[in-house]
């Protein structure tokens, strides 16, 4: 059974950071062997502070994945991660996501004052990161962006681009230009990722038919295959638990 030696913890950020940071989390592979996984897109931006038996300490920024990615969790991997909202990625990250080659890039080893020795103390990492990030919050935030992202996450991307534009009092053309320049994809594309993310718990529970935010069964199958690489039935079966979103791992 996969992930028997995987430890996963998560913690919500303090209220002052809630619109910028979705969560802090920690993952440890206690096994002496690597664990193959397929990581599927979930609309999150992650910064990993990590090391393993085969990799030295590093800080990696992962942008918005748009397709499944086969990976191996190396033996004795230790990860502390920050999962960002797009508002946080825009205002608090030191790098623009659209500028990342292949959706990923390394940050300085001393980013946010965290080092390899800190990774064994999850609560301490969360406190240190929170203190540093609070100092980066700007005095002013574009109210259109705030309205847009709040509505996006509240509705799981199920509205039309035009509906989001109207609610945010921001033209759809300007929104799409902003998304392409900052995040490297369109708002419509991001909405489809959020809808897939929202469907994953149902798929894990064996629900193979679409919820109301998919047009029909064919549309549902097409979107699941696009982001998971397999049809809903295979994703639901999830043999050996190889298809994961880190946020969906069981906590210990």
Q: Express as a percent the part of the chain with pLDDT over 70.
A: 78
**Position 184 pLDDT exceeds 70:** yes
Q: How many CA atoms lie within 13 A of 156 on its CB side?
A: 11
Give the model's pLDDT for residue 1. 37
**Position 144 pLDDT exceeds 80:** yes
Distances (CA, A) of 16 to 20, 101, 136: 9, 31, 12
Give the model's pLDDT for residue 199. 76
229 band by pLDDT with thresholds 50, 70 and 90:
low
**Position 3 pLDDT exceeds 90:** no
- The answer to whether residues 133 and 93 touch, using CB atoms and an 8 Å cutoff, is no
What global pTM score does this model have? 0.84
Q: What domains are there in the chain, each with its CATH number?
A: 6-138 (2.60.120), 143-241 (1.10.10.60)
Question: What does the DSSP assignment read for 14-38?
Answer: PGGGTTTEEEEEEEEE-SSS-EEEE
Give the model's pLDDT for residue 72. 84
What is the tens place of the pLDDT at every residue in 41-61? 888 899 999 999 999 999 999
| Cβ contacts of 54-62, under 8 Å, gap ≥ 24 | 57/109, 57/115, 57/116, 58/106, 58/109, 59/106, 59/107, 59/108, 59/109, 59/111, 59/114, 60/104, 60/105, 60/106, 60/107, 61/93, 61/95, 61/100, 61/104, 61/105, 61/106, 61/107, 62/103, 62/104
- The answer to whether residues 168 and 147 touch, using CB atoms and an 8 Å cutoff, is yes
**Position 69 pLDDT exceeds 80:** no
Q: Express as a percent the part of the chain with pLDDT over 90.
A: 60
What is the tens place of the pLDDT at every residue in 101-115? 778 999 999 999 999
- The answer to whether residues 24 and 43 touch, using CB atoms and an 8 Å cutoff, is no
Give the model's pLDDT for residue 206. 62
**Order of strands across the sheet with 45-51?**
6-11, 21-29, 78-84, 45-51, 58-62, 104-106
Give the model's pLDDT for residue 68. 74
Give the model's pLDDT for residue 205. 62
Distances (CA, A) of 154 to 56, 81, 197, 198: 38, 23, 13, 11
249 band by pLDDT with thresholds 50, 70 and 90:
very low
210 band by pLDDT with thresholds 50, 70 and 90:
low
Hey, which residues does 49 pair with through a beta bridge? 59, 80
Distances (CA, A) of 139 to 18, 37, 117, 136, 234: 16, 41, 33, 9, 47
């Amino acid at each position: 059974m996969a992930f028997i030696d995987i430890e996963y913890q998560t913690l919500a950020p303090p209220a002052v950071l809630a619109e910028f940071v979705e969560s802090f989390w920690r993952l440890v592979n206690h096994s002496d062997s690597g664990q193959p996984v397929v990581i599927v897109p979930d609309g999150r931006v992650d910064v990993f502070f990590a090391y393993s038996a085969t990799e030295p300490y590093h800080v990696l920024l992962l942008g918005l994945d748009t397709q499944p990615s086969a990976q191996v969790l190396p033996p004795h991997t230790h990860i502390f991660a920050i999962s960002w909202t797009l508002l946080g990625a825009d205002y608090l990250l030191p790098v623009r996501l659209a500028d990342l080659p292949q959706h990923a890039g390394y940050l300085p080893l001393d980013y946010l004052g965290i080092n390899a020795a800190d990774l064994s103390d999850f609560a301490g990492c969360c406190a240190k990161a929170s203190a540093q990030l609070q100092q980066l919050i700007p005095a002013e935030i574009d109210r259109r962006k705030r309205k847009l992202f709040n509505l996006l996450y509240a509705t799981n991307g199920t509205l039309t681009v035009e509906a989001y534009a109207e609610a945010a009092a921001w033209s759809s053309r300007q929104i799409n230009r902003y998304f392409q320049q900052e995040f490297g994809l369109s708002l419509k594309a991001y909405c489809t990722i959020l809808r897939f993310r929202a469907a994953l718990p149902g798929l894990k529970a064996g629900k193979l038919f679409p919820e109301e935010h998919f047009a029909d069964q064919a549309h549902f199958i097409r979107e699941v295959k696009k982001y998971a690489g397999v049809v809903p039935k295979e994703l639901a079966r999830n043999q050996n638990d190889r298809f994961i979103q880190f946020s969906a791992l069981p906590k210990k």
